[in-house]
Structure 1
Amino acid sequence: MVSESSGQAVGAGALLAILRDGQARTRAELAQLTGLARSTVSQRLDALINHEWIVPTQDTISSGGRPATAFAFNRSARIVLSADLGATHARLAITDLGMTVLAERAVELPIDRGPEPTLTWLVTSFKEMLTETGHRLAQVCGIGIGLPGPVEHASGRPVNPPIMPGWDNFPVPEWLGERLTAPVLVDNDVNIMARGEHWVTSPEVDHLLFVKVGTGIGCGIIADRRLHRGAQGAAGDVGHIRATSSVDALCRCGNAGCLEAVAGGASMAAKLRDTGLDAANSRDVVRLIRAGNALAAQVIRQAGRDIGGVLAAVVNFFNPSVIVVGGDIAEAGEHLLAGMREAIYSRSLPLATQHLSIRASELGDRAGVIGAAVMVVEHVLAPGTVDQTVMV
C-alpha cells in the first residue's frame, strides 16, 4: 500500500492506474487501497471525471447502508493512432485506450520511397480513417509508430537504418506532431510487436522474446515484464549476429555472414529465384509453402535452423520462458518453428529449455499496431503524466 503517511505522493494518476485493471471501485475501496483520506480520494476522482478518464458505473455497491457509487476506467476517453511500417507494407489502426481496434488499414508501401512521401501518406490515411469512424483529431491522445530499422527511442529518430534510404536522423515525431497535433512516439518495429504480443497474450510472462522473421530478422526483449531497449536502443538486433551456415553471404549492413543475409525473407526468396521459382519477397516464400512446394519447405526449415542456432546462444544468455515468432515468414507455419526448435533444444542448456515455449504469434499482423498503441497509452496514462494533466 502506498499512502500519504509513507512520504510517497498518491496523486490522481495512481488512482487511475488502480482502476485501469477493469474493476470498478468505490471511494471507500480506493481509500483503503491507497491510505488516502476519503475527502482526498473524492477530490482526485472528481479531477479524473472532469477529464473523462473515469466514469461512474451504473452499478452501485451496498453493504447494508446507502448504496455507494463505483468508478471505472473510461476506455473511450481518448483514441490512439498507430502505424506499423515494414520494409514493403504498412498497417494502420485506430484503437481505444483498452487496445480495442476501431478501424484498420493495410497496404503495400515500400519504406525506401523516403520519409516525407511515406509520412505524408500516413497523415492523409489517418485523417481519412478518423473521418470514416466519426472521430476528430482533438480526441487523439497520441500516435505510435514502428519503423523497420534502429531507432533512438529518446528522440524517435531512425539511426543508420540499412533498408530506409533518406530516413537517417529524420525528425519523425516533430514532422508528424506538427501535422497531427498530438504527441508522437517512435520505436523499432519488432519492439512494438513484442509489446503488443506481451500485453494481449502473455501479460503474466516475465521474460519473453519476440522474433520477427520477415524481409529481415529482429528480436524484441521483454525482461521483468518491461521492454528492454539497451543503452542506445539497439538491444535485440539478432539479424546482424554472425550465422554459421554461410559465412560468406553479404549483408546489406556491409558485413558478411549475418543471420539476416542467411535466413531472412529476402535471402530465402533469392534462393528460390535461383532455382527458377517466382519469389520476389518474403510473402512469395509463404505463398509457395502454402502451395505445397517442397523446395520452399526445405529452404524455410533450414532458415529456422540458422535462426535457432543464433537464438540458442540468446536462450543460454537471457533464459526466457517464451519465444514468440512473428513477421511474414511466421505465417508459413510449423516449417519455420520446427527448424528453430531443432536447433534451440539441441544447442541450449537443458535448464534453460526445461520450460521454454516456442510458438507463433497469436496477434499475427496486428501485433505491431497493438504494440504501438500500448506504447502510447503507457506513456499518456503514466501516473506522473496524468497528474500533470489534471493538476491535482
Structure 2
Amino acid sequence: MDKEKKIFGISWNVFLLGLVSFLNDMSSEMIAPIVPAYLTSVLNVGKLASGSIMGLIESLSSLFKVVFGHISDKFRQRKVFVTLGYGLSTISKGALAFTHSWWDFLSLRIVDRVGKGIRTAPRDALIAESTEKGKTGKSFGFHRMMDTMGAVAGPLVAIGLLALFVKYPADVAYRRIFLLSALPGALSILIIIFLVKDTGKEVKKKIRGISALRNRNLKLFLVVVAIGALGRYSYAFTMWKAQELGYSIVQSLGFYALFNVIYALSAYPIGVYSDKVGKKVIITAGFGVATLAALTFAYAKTLWMLLAGFILYGVYLAIEDTVPRAYMADLAKDFEKGTIIGAYHTVFGVFVFPASAIAGWLWQNYSLKYSFLYAAAMSAFAMILMMTMVKEEKS
C-alpha cells in the first residue's frame, strides 16, 4: 500500500474505491426509485408484501457481511471479494429487465444483496487499511459522499430515460432502465480489477491481541445499532409518501434526488468533523435527526413539509451510514477489521428486515403516518441510549 500517494488529501486506494461506489450506486439508483412503482403497479404486489420485500432486500446482504469480512481477515484478501460482490450485483440488476413475477424479482434482488454482503466488509476494511490513523472519519466520509453522488446521478439519469421512453408502456420503460443500469456497474468492476490495490497481505498474520468484540463499549454500541435499525425504514416508504400526497413517479424521483444531494453534501464534512469532536457524539445527533425526519414525514401534508422530510432524511443517513463504520474501524485491531466491521453490518441488517415489515404492516392496517411514528419512536430510543453511553464515557 502506497500511503504517500494521495489525492484530495486521501489515499489513492480510497479515492478509487469512492469512484467505484459512485458508479455502482449510480447503477443501483437508476432503478431504486422505480422499484416501488414496479412492485405495486407492474407486478401487482400488495402493500404489506411490498414493505416486507423491501425490508428483506435491505436485510439479506448484512447476513453475509460478517462472514466474508472474517474470511477476508483470514486470507488477507480484500480485492477478490470486492470484485465478486460488485460483479454479482451488476449482473442481477441488469437481469431485472426479464422479471415477470414477484418471485423472479425477489430472487434477483437477493443475488444483488448477496453481492453487497460479500463486498461490503472487505471493502470497508480495505478503506480502513488504506487510511492513516485518526483520519477514518474523513476517508469513510469521502467514500459515502462519492457513493451518494452516484445516488444523485442515478435518479437524474432515470428521469431522463423515463422521458425518453415516455411513449412506451410503463413496464417496457422500467425494463429498459433495468438493462441499462448494468453499464456503469460494469465500468466499476474494471476499475477494481486494474487499478485498486489489495492491502490485506501487508498486515502481518502474526499480529494478534485481545479482540475488540470483548470491548464493553462495542457490545453496547451494537445494541444501539440494533434498536436504531428497527427504526430504519426503507427509502421506498418516502417515495410512497410522496405518491400518497399526489406527486407523480417523476416528481417523486426529484424528491429522491434532493435527498441524495443533501446526503452527498453532508457525508464528507460530517466524517471530517467526527474525527475532531468524537464519533459517539455525532452518532447520537444522527438519531436525533432521524427522529425529526420520521416525525416530519408522518405529519407532512404540504410541499414544504415533504421537502423538509427529505432534507432531514438525507442528513440522518449521511451520519448513520458514515460515522458508525469509522467508529467500528477505530475500535478494531489490525487482524480483525473485516470481522468487526462485518459484525456491525450484520447486526444492522438483521434488524432492518423486521423494521420495514412492521412499517409495511402499519401502512396496510392503519396508514403511512403510523409507519413513520413507529420509526420515530425507535430512533428516539436509540438516541437516549447513545446519550447514556456518551455521558458514561465523560464521567
- Greater relative contact order, per chain length (Cα 8 Å cut-off, separation 6+): 2
> Which has the greater radius of gyration?
1
Larger relative helix fraction: 2
TM-score (norm: length of structure 1)? 0.26
Larger relative strand fraction: 1
